[in-house]
């Protein structure tokens, strides 16, 4: 939204040659030998010296707001523009630029290949300090609660095989997922365009897409606790909607942009949302730091907007404590997650302010006891804050994990496994790719947040896109993934029979696809009716025509 500007002067031209360094430029070398300290990196290498002059020029031009055009006859790193190394894929392995801090843990001196946090079985563990050992709360916990907690943790069950079809009914990337609270096979999905999909993944072909509820990003959705046929959605169009899933009839409970588009400075977008059934309220928060309450009985806004995060900053997440209805957790772009008492909601009155080094993508209470908080921050760390064994002044544990990509992707959020009685299993997509048998894949990680161990990485050679949106089923061993525009359902491999495993390999992309895309495969004007038919579990479903398409989840091959 920032205004586009044009360069006013022609930039300097630099030429780097393979043999000895020679330079031709647009003319006079003013202030060429101006003193300037090189950025603090290790000792300069041969290549550094060779290119010093060029770098000076580069910086010089940069200072004047002109980016020089570098005509390179020499192989140069695309990241740091220096010779002697090259960042990028070597086969399916990505080689980092050694001049940059580690892309995983952000510390200088090594790359992701050699990062100590990259060891698979001990993924990025920073040991948890065991605090407050003589704390009376802990004493009571040990006396009264510990006996009720199984000492031997049940083995985790990991849904690691795509078993029913991948579906692609969204025309833009998926931004949110929610399982139906009572129907086990219904998955709701929202996308960047504001479309809401309802998918019965047991009857694979049964899907409904509501395209008229919102006009842009569907950021969060929650089922009504009172009526599980009703879903609330918060969108970047500034409205909260309440939709009946049977009829598709939707009402708008609140519209923060009643006057339409008046420019980016006034356009309000709704991000975080949760429902407090105890108070009969839908809580939503916007991109200017404000919280709004909507009464679910009257479907109308109550009270005034409350500033809960830094003025002008986006509040991306809200979560009500599952046990204590008065506790509210929020997180946002001001680098904080904040804990609030619903009875005393006013600017600056948070009970705790959980500090992070970067933007906080999500903050969730643990699903059963509500005593732990799991946050995902753009500094590539998951943090666990424990209100019983720790205090909320600092995290009990930090887990280094690659999820810091920002633009063009839905933000990664670590999600609890709602079925895990020990409240220690979390799932989160992985940004940087790993080399799996020669294919660069972005796995979905299952992490034991008590130990920091990577319990499992789930991936499929046909899914080459990044999977930032993941949700574990509230009752079944099922994982739902939103990756680009596609949805995937995963189940544990050992629970699939042979036929199901074969099915999983056969049927891949089907369903209403974008018309423009389908033109790629046929020229005639088309609607949904003339796709090839395919039988899956006795149901007629539609699949793409070409053989390639039926064996791939995504369109493009990656090498």
Partner DNA sequence: ACCGGATGGAACC
Partner DNA sequence: TGGTTCCCCTCCGG
Distance of closest approach, residue 489 Cβ to DNA, in angstroms:
18
Q: DSSP for 247-284?
A: T--EEEEEES-TT----TTT---EEEEEEETTTTEEEE
Rule CB under 7 A: choose which of 186, 234, 432, 507 binds DNA. 432
Contacts of 545 (CB under 8 A, 6+ apart): 521, 522, 531, 532
Total residues contacting DNA by CB under 7 A comes to 49
State whether the Cα torsion 161-166-172-175 is positive or negative: negative
* Torsion angle of the four alpha carbons 530, 531, 536, 538, in this order, in degrees rounded to the nearest 10: 10
d(CA 253, CA 434): 44
Distance of closest approach, residue 238 Cβ to DNA, in angstroms:
13
Rule CB under 7 A: choose which of 25, 112, 353, 422 binds DNA. 112
Rule CB under 7 A: choose which of 7, 143, 297, 343 binds DNA. 7
167 interacts with DNA by CB under 7 A: no
Alpha-carbon 157 to chain mean position: 23
d(CA 469, CA 341): 29
Rule CB under 7 A: choose which of 49, 67, 182, 212 binds DNA. 67
Residues 26-65 that bind DNA (CB under 7 A): 62, 65
Both structure tokens of 512: 């209403």
Residues 364-393 that bind DNA (CB under 7 A): 378
Distance of closest approach, residue 499 Cβ to DNA, in angstroms:
29
**What x/- string results for residues 260 through 289 when contact with DNA is judged by CB under 7 A?**
------------------------------
Rule CB under 7 A: choose which of 517, 533, 539, 559 binds DNA. 517
**What x/- string results for residues 202 through 241 when contact with DNA is judged by CB under 7 A?**
----------------------------------------
Rule CB under 7 A: choose which of 440, 450, 496, 545 binds DNA. 440
445 interacts with DNA by CB under 7 A: no
Q: Classify 556 in phi/psi space as left (phi over 0), alpha (psi -120 to 50) or beta.
A: beta
Pick between residue 1 and residue 152 the one whose CB is nearest to DNA: 1
169 interacts with DNA by CB under 7 A: no
Rule CB under 7 A: choose which of 12, 82, 222, 314 binds DNA. 314
Backbone angles phi, psi at 396, to 5 degrees: -75, -25
Rule CB under 7 A: choose which of 105, 233, 466, 478 binds DNA. 466
Pick between residue 78 and residue 533 the one whose CB is nearest to DNA: 78
Nearest to 165 by CA among 444, 422, 462, 374: 462
Pick between residue 280 and residue 514 the one whose CB is nearest to DNA: 514
d(CA 559, CA 557): 7
Both structure tokens of 477: 């061993």
Stretch of 198-206, 222-230, 443-451, 509-517 contacting DNA, by CB under 7 A: 509-517
Beta carbons of 234 and 220 less than 8 angstroms apart: yes
DSSP, collapsed to helix, strand or coil, labels residue 294 as: strand
The residue to which tokens 């070597």 are assigned: 90
DSSP strand pairing (434-436 vs 336-341):
unpaired
Pick between residue 371 and residue 549 the one whose CB is nearest to DNA: 549
In order of 115, 339, 359, the CA distances from 404 in angstroms are 16, 24, 10
Rule CB under 7 A: choose which of 83, 87, 329, 480 binds DNA. 87
Cα atoms found within 13 Å of the Cα of residue 13, Cβ hemisphere only: 7
Pick between residue 423 and residue 531 the one whose CB is nearest to DNA: 531
3-state SS string for 134-158 = CCHHHHHHHHHHHHHCCCCCCCCCC
DSSP, collapsed to helix, strand or coil, labels residue 506 as: helix
Stretch of 156-164, 200-208, 222-230, 511-519 contacting DNA, by CB under 7 A: 511-519
5 interacts with DNA by CB under 7 A: yes
Both structure tokens of 348: 């600056």
DSSP, collapsed to helix, strand or coil, labels residue 372 as: strand
Residues 286-305 that bind DNA (CB under 7 A): none
d(CA 83, CA 514): 44
101 interacts with DNA by CB under 7 A: yes
Alpha-carbon 261 to chain mean position: 28
Rule CB under 7 A: choose which of 51, 83, 94, 367 binds DNA. 94
Contacts of 241 (CB under 8 A, 6+ apart): 213, 214, 232, 233, 235, 250, 251, 252, 253
Rule CB under 7 A: choose which of 333, 371, 424, 481 binds DNA. 333
Rule CB under 7 A: choose which of 231, 484, 488, 489 binds DNA. 484
Pick between residue 281 and residue 354 the one whose CB is nearest to DNA: 354
Pick between residue 112 and residue 551 the one whose CB is nearest to DNA: 112
Stretch of 148-156, 202-210, 447-455, 463-471 contacting DNA, by CB under 7 A: 463-471
Backbone angles phi, psi at 502, to 5 degrees: -65, -45
Stretch of 15-23, 123-131, 400-408, 470-478 contacting DNA, by CB under 7 A: 400-408
Interface with DNA by CB under 7 A: which residues? 1-3, 5, 7, 62, 65, 67, 78-79, 87, 94, 96-97, 100-103, 112, 171, 173, 192, 314, 333, 335, 358-359, 378, 405-409, 432-433, 440, 442, 464-466, 483-485, 514, 516-517, 554-556
């Amino acid at each position: 939204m920032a205004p586009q500007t044009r360069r006013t002067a022609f930039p300097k031209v630099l030429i780097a040659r393979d043999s000895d360094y020679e330079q031709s430029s647009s003319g006079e070398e003013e202030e060429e030998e101006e003193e300037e300290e090189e950025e603090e990196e290790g000792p300069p290498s041969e290549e550094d010296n060779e290119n010093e002059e060029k770098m000076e020029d580069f910086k010089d031009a940069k200072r004047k707001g002109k980016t020089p055009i570098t005509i390179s006859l020499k192989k140069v790193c695309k990241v740091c523009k220096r010779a002697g190394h090259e960042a990028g894929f070597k086969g399916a392995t990505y080689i980092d630029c050694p001049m940059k801090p580690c892309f995983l843990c952000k510390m200088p001196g090594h790359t992701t290949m050699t990062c100590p946090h990259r060891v698979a079985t001990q993924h990025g563990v920073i040991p948890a300090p065991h605090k407050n050992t003589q704390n009376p709360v802990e004493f009571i916990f040990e006396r009264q609660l510990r006996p009720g907690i199984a000492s031997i943790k049940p083995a985790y069950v990991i849904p690691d095989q795509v078993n029913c079809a991948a579906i692609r009914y969204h025309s833009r990337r998926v931004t949110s997922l929610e399982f139906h609270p009572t129907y086990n096979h219904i998955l709701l999905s929202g996308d960047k365009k504001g479309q809401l999909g309802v998918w019965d993944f047991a009857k694979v072909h049964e899907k409904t897409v509501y395209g008229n509820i919102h006009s842009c990003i569907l950021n969060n959705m929650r089922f009504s606790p009172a009526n599980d046929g009703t879903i609330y959605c918060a969108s970047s169009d500034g409205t909260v909607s309440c939709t009946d899933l049977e009829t598709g009839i939707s009402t708008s409970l609140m519209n923060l942009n009643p006057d339409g588009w008046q420019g980016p400075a006034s356009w309000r977008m709704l991000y975080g949302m949760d429902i407090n059934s105890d108070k009969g309220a839908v809580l939503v928060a916007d991109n200017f730091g404000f919280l709004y309450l909507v009464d679910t009985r009257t479907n109308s806004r109550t009270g005034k907007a409350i500033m809960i995060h830094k003025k002008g900053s986006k509040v991306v997440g809200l979560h009500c404590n599952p046990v204590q209805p008065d506790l509210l957790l929020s997180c946002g772009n001001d680098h904080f997650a904040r804990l609030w008492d619903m009875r005393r909601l006013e600017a600056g009155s948070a009970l705790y302010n959980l500090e992070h080094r970067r933007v906080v993508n999500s903050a969730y209470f643990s699903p059963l006891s509500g005593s732990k908080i799991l946050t995902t921050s753009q500094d590539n760390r998951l943090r666990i804050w424990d209100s019983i064994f720790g205090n909320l002044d600092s995290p009990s544990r930090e887990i280094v994990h690659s999820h810091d990509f920002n633009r063009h992707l839905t933000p990664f959020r670590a999600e609890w496994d709602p079925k895990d009685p020990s409240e220690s299993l979390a799932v989160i997509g992985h940004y940087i790719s790993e080399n799996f048998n020669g294919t660069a894949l972005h796995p979905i990680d299952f992490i034991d947040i008590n130990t920091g161990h990577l319990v499992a990485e789930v991936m499929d050679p046909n899914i080459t896109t990044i999977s930032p949106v993941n949700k574990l089923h509230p009752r079944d061993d099922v994982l739902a993934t939103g990756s680009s525009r596609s949805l995937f359902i995963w189940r544990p491999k050992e629970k699939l029979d042979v036929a199901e495993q074969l099915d999983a390999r056969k049927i891949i992309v089907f369903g209403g696809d974008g018309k423009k895309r389908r033109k790629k495969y046929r020229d005639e004007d088309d609607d949904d009716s003339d796709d090839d038919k395919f039988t899956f579990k006795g149901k007629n479903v539609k699949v793409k025509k070409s053989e390639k398409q039926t064996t791939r989840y995504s369109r493009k091959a990656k090498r």
